[in-house]
Amino acid sequence: MSSERRMFIDGEWADARDGGRIPVFEPSTGAPLASVPAGTEADVHRAVTAARRAFDGGAWNGEVPPRHRAAVLNRIAGRIRSRAGELARLEVRDSGKPLGDALAEMDEAAFIFEYYAGWATKLAGEIPPVGPEALNLITYEPVGVCGLIVPWNFPLVMAVQKIAPALAAGCTAVLKPAEDTPLTALELAGIAAEAGLPAGALNVVTGTGPEAGAPLVAHPAVDKVSFTGSRDVGVQVATSAAATLKRVTLELGGKSPNVVFADAEFTEAVAGTCRGIFTNQGEVCSAGSRVLIQREIFDDALEALAAQAARIRLGDGLDTRTTMGPLVSARQRDRVMRYIEIGEKEGARAVHTGSLPGEPELAGGYFVPPVIFHASSHDLRIAQEEIFGPVMTVLPFDGVDEAIRLANDTAFGLGAAIWTNDVRKGLRVAKAVRAGVVWLNDTQAAPSEGIWGGFKASGVGRELGRQGLEAYLEAKQIHIKLT
In 344-481, DSSP assigns E strands to 349-353, 371-374, 391-397, 412-413, 415-419, 437-440, 455-456, 459-460, 473-481
Task: Please tell me whether residue 9 adopts helix, strand or coil conformation.
Answer: strand
Query: Cβ 440 to ligand NAD, closest distance in Å?
Result: 20
Instruction: Output the smallest distance, CB 175 to ligand NAD, in A.
Output: 10
Is residue 254 a contact residue for ligand NAD (CB under 6 A)? yes
Burial class (CB in 10 A: 0-12, 13-18, 19+), 266: middle
Q: Which is nearer to ligand NAD, 113 or 388 (CB)?
A: 388
Decide: is 178 part of the binding site for ligand NAD (CB under 6 A): yes
For ligand NAD, the binding residue among 111, 152, 261, 439 (CB under 6 A) is: 152
For ligand NAD, the closer CB: 119 or 452:
452
The answer to the question of residue 179 lying near ligand NAD (CB under 6 A) is yes
Applying CB under 6 A, among 35, 121, 139, 236 the residue interacting with ligand NAD is: 236
d(CA 360, CA 483) in angstroms, rounded, equals: 83
Cα dihedral 442→353→232→317 (10° resolution)? -70
Stretch that binds ligand NAD, among 19-27, 90-98, 226-234, 338-346 (CB under 6 A): 226-234
Applying CB under 6 A, does 369 fall inside the site for ligand NAD?
A: no
In Å, how far are 100, 177, 427, 429, 479 from 423, measured between CA atoms?
33, 41, 6, 10, 48
Q: Which of 386, 433, 457, 471 binds ligand NAD (CB under 6 A)?
A: 386
**Contacts of ligand NAD in 450-469 (CB under 6 A):** 452, 454, 459
Closest to ligand NAD by CB, 200 or 253: 253
**Residue 25 binds to ligand NAD (criterion: CB under 6 A):** no
Which range touches ligand NAD (CB under 6 A), out of 28-36, 101-109, 137-145, 172-180? 172-180
**Beta carbons of 174 and 44 less than 8 angstroms apart:** yes
Q: What is the DSSP string of 14-29?
A: E--TT--EEEEE-TTT
108 binds ligand NAD (CB under 6 A): no
305 in Cβ contact with 274 (< 8 Å): yes
Residue nearest to ligand NAD (CB): 209
Give the residues across from 397 on adjacent strands. 294
Work out how close the CB of 381 gets to ligand NAD at its nearest, in angstroms, rounded to a whole number.
15
The active-site residue out of 211, 285, 386, 463 is 285
DSSP calls for 161-174 = HHHHHHHHHT-EEE
Report in angstroms the alpha-carbon separations of 96 from 139, 160, 320, 338, 397: 44, 19, 13, 20, 35
Query: Residue 268: which residues within 8 A CB-CB, separation 6 or more?
Result: 419, 441
- 94 forms part of the interface with ligand NAD (CB under 6 A): no
As measured in angstroms, the least distance from the Cβ of 217 to ligand NAD is: 5
According to the binding rule CB under 6 A, does residue 426 interact with ligand NAD? Answer: no
Task: Candidates 49, 172, 228, 256: give the one binding ligand NAD (CB under 6 A).
Answer: 228
Closer residue to ligand NAD, CB minimum distance, 153 or 308: 153
Query: CA-CA distances (angstroms) from residue 310 to 199, 296, 316, 369?
Result: 50, 23, 18, 10
285 among known catalytic residues: yes
How far apart are CB 435 and ligand NAD at their closest, in Å? 11
Question: What is d(CA 262, CA 260) in angstroms, rounded to the nearest whole number?
Answer: 7
Residue closest to 293 by CA, chosen among 112, 158, 418: 418
Q: Does 312 bind ligand NAD (CB under 6 A)?
A: no
Q: Is 194 a catalytic residue?
A: no
Question: Quick check: 253 binds ligand NAD (CB under 6 A)?
Answer: yes
- Establish if 414 lies at the interface with ligand NAD (CB under 6 A): yes
Minimum separation from the CB atom of position 459 to ligand NAD (A)? 6
Query: How many C-beta atoms surround the C-beta of residue 247 within 10 A?
Result: 18
Q: Does 447 bind ligand NAD (CB under 6 A)?
A: no
**Comparison of 146 and 293: residue with beta carbon closer to ligand NAD:** 146
β strands within 161-264, DSSP E? 172-176, 202-204, 224-228, 247-251, 257-260
Q: Counting contacts by CB under 6 A, is residue 229 touching ligand NAD?
A: yes
153 binds ligand NAD (CB under 6 A): yes
Q: Give the nearer residue to ligand NAD in terms of CB position, either 254 or 272.
A: 254
Q: Which of residues 196-225 bind ligand NAD (CB under 6 A)?
A: 208-210, 213-214, 217
3-state DSSP helix/strand/coil percent for the chain, to nearest 5? 40, 20, 40
* Total residues at interface with ligand NAD (CB under 6 A): 31
- Buried-exposed string 208-240: b where 16+ CB fall within 10 A, e elsewhere: bbebbbbbbbbbebbbbbbbbbbbebbebbbeb
For residue 325, state whether it binds ligand NAD (rule: CB under 6 A). Answer: no
Among 149, 264, 464, 471, binds ligand NAD (CB under 6 A): 149
384 binds ligand NAD (CB under 6 A): no
Q: Which residues contact 124 (CB under 8 A, 6 or more apart)?
A: none
Task: Show which residues are catalytic.
Answer: 251, 285
Interface residues toward ligand NAD, by CB under 6 A: 149-153, 176, 178-179, 208-210, 213-214, 217, 228-230, 233, 236-237, 251-254, 285, 386, 388, 414, 452, 454, 459
